[in-house]
Amino acid sequence: MDCKLNESISWVGHVDWTIRDFHGYNTSRGSTYNAYLIQDESPTLVDTVKAAFAPELIRKLSALGELSSIRYLVCNHAEPDHSGSLPRLVQACPHAEVVCNEKCRTALGLHYDTAHWKFRIVKDGETLRIGKRTLQFIDTPMVHWPESMFTYVPEDRLLFSMDAFGQHVASSFRFDDQNDLDMVLEEAKTYYANIVMLYAQPIRRTLERAASLPIDMVAPSHGVIWRTHFGKILAAYKDWVLGRSKPKVLIVYDTMWQSTERLAQTILEGAQESNVDARVLNARTSSLTEIATESLDAAVFAFGSPTLNQTLMPQMAAVLSYLKGLKPSGKSGFAFGSYGWAKGAATEIELSLKSMNFEMLRPALTCQFKPGPDTLEEAREAGRMMARKALSVATQ
């Protein structure tokens, strides 16, 4: 495995091949926690790994002969997937200072017993000379936590970008050009949709700041390092932060006795009469992770649920709750679903969509028990309308 970014900088992280649930995120391709050792006059470790993998990180640093000489432990982000090994590292590196901003010091103090840690607090834009190199620290609040920052090395034109541009991917290959690029970009999209979509505006400001930096390589804290195709992920981020949608229709439903499913399929058929990317997902057979990812670039939505106990079915409630937290913007849609002797589901869905500032395209499409021919024709027409809307949004 090639672990050298250049002659002086090594990847010393952990590849987590078997993780499939990252605080609820379905990590079907595993993950990595990237840490980087800069071997200069003042050896510096940039970020750590989850606590469970601290012994491996310490072994790697020992093999490079740097453990006792490490001078700085840079903490770009206090979330435990990156800071979890800091308590062990602070013990193992008696001469090291933890380099972070003030908010990060506070956050670390709430996670760990930091009473005896030596801190070097850095401000936004501050630099730290470590020998031939300079580290420049750039605050990136809410990318992904309030204390997050980037570390930039001008001499190497290298940006340690923390969660930004990351992907949950386990691989034996560290660099973008050694992996299947389509797979990496798909995982970067999944990461963006599920972790940072709600922080689009802070990310936009961060991208604007980072645009002035000469960059040859971007080393995030998860997944592959961008050394050849950074332009591709940067272009994708620019679309995502602007909330740009594709001519894409997404229908998400749950069903009890296949009536709402029949409506979903008929809406799909109506949308497919036009040249749009129309997709349908069952809320109980697709993960929240997948639904959020498909939502990122979809323009128009239909959410369907039968009425159960005068409200919507639980998994559809979970879908809407999850999406609401991710704050999708510029979307439109409507609710649909069957009911028996009492209504409720469609109204609940409409309330959720309105709370997410969706443009409501039409009143809820409902039927009692089974959809008859008139309702199915109404569903087909609703699908056609979704397609027209998706095409109009995508050309704006």
Residues lying near ligand FEO in the complex (CB under 6 A) are found at 77, 79, 81-82, 144-145, 163, 221-222
Chain CA centroid to CA 85, Å: 22
Q: Say which of 25, 199, 222, 237 is annotated catalytic.
A: 222
Nearer residue to ligand FEO within complex by CB, 14 or 222: 222
Taking the complex as a whole, the smallest distance from the CB of residue 46 to ligand FEO amounts, in Å, to 14
Taking the complex as a whole, the smallest distance from the CB of residue 144 to ligand FEO amounts, in Å, to 4
Q: Say which of 79, 176, 261, 294 is annotated catalytic.
A: 79
Give the full edge-to-edge strand order of the sheet including 119-121. 9-11, 36-38, 44-46, 72-74, 97-100, 119-121
Residue 339 appears among annotated catalytic residues: no
3-state helix, strand, coil in the chain (%, to 5): 40, 20, 40
Residue 77 appears among annotated catalytic residues: yes
Taking the complex as a whole, the smallest distance from the CB of residue 229 to ligand FEO amounts, in Å, to 21
> Rounded CA gap, 141 and 107, in Å?
13
Taking the complex as a whole, the smallest distance from the CB of residue 76 to ligand FEO amounts, in Å, to 10
Residue 350 appears among annotated catalytic residues: no
How many residues would you count in the chain?
396
> Rounded CA gap, 14 and 35, in Å?
8
Q: Say which of 16, 81, 261, 297 is annotated catalytic.
A: 81
Helix (H), strand (E) at residue 288: helix 288-296
Taking the complex as a whole, the smallest distance from the CB of residue 41 to ligand FEO amounts, in Å, to 30
Nearer residue to ligand FEO within complex by CB, 35 or 267: 35
Nearer residue to ligand FEO within complex by CB, 79 or 156: 79
* Tokens matching residue 56: 């491996």
Nearer residue to ligand FEO within complex by CB, 163 or 261: 163
Residue 116 appears among annotated catalytic residues: no
Dihedral sign of CA atoms 214, 217, 220, 226 in order = positive
Of the candidates 133, 127, 128, the one whose C-alpha atom is nearest the C-alpha of residue 40 is 133
Q: Which residue is nearest to ligand FEO (CB)?
A: 79
Residue 79 appears among annotated catalytic residues: yes
Nearer residue to ligand FEO within complex by CB, 194 or 286: 194
Residue 81 appears among annotated catalytic residues: yes
> Rounded CA gap, 88 and 49, in Å?
11
Active-site residue list:
23, 77, 79, 81, 144, 163, 191, 222
